[in-house]
Amino acid sequence: MRRVANVGYLAGIKILLDSSKEMEQTAENIRAILRERHAIPPGIPDDFQIVTPTEVTQLAERVAGTFNLFLALIAGIALIAGGVVVANVMLISVTERKNEIGLRKAVGARSKDIMLQFLFEATAVTLTGGVIGIVLGAIGAGILHAVTQLPTTVSWESVVLGVVFSSLVGIVAGLQPARRAAILQPVEALR
């Protein structure tokens, strides 16, 4: 270490054990030896660090949890943006289809029927987008696994959540356009 890094101490030591059952006891024994050799009195923190595979696993789980939270946040923002886009498209659809709405009302369609039609259309659009997103996500997971050899899975829970949330976004995004279509008067819509 003096020749390579110009320091008078070891930067790290790796110890391989025959059995993982002895890992915690071995770590405590090493800690006691190092504290004695470094002349660290009781109550003073260590001037070294011992990292066990358990601690590495816990760190990796914390990082993965943070990453999953970040992905969920991005997905939520994408859902909100998608909902706004669908709502705007449906509002444009109501405006362009005033004649159709007026004609349907003139021949006996109730406001509830018009509202349900537009809600179904908005839900169909977002549900189709959700299914396409699930398929593309599964393909992406397969490609990631093939390229990096990292284990990837697509759980049924994520598929169900994708379908449910995309449907909910469609319903919420379609409410205002559906209400606007339902309150149109046949005479004004046909004018």
Pick from 44, 50, 7: nearest CA to 29 = 50
| pLDDT computed for residue 102 by the predictor | 86
| pLDDT the model gives residue 88 | 92
Examine residue 92 and state whether it is found in any structural domain, yes or no.
Answer: yes
The total number of residues written for the chain in this structure: 191
Residue 6 lies in domain = 2-37
pLDDT below 70 — which residues of the chain?
none
pTM reported for the whole predicted model: 0.64
* pLDDT score at 51: 86
> How many structural domains are present in the chain?
2
Contact 87, 119 (CB under 8 A): no
Let me know whether 72 and 151 are in one domain: yes
Instruction: For residue 54, tell me if it sits in a domain.
Output: no
- pLDDT digits over 28-69, tens only? 898 999 899 889 998 899 888 888 888 888 888 888 889 889
C-alpha dihedral, 101 to 105 to 111 to 112, nearest 10°: -90
- What pLDDT, on a 0 to 100 scale, did the predictor assign at position 154? 84
Q: Are residues 21 and 90 located together in one domain of the fold? A: no
Q: Encode 29-72 in three state secondary structure.
A: HHHHHHHHHCCCCCCCCCCCCCCCHHHHHHHHHHHHHHHHHHHH
Residue 44 domain flag: no
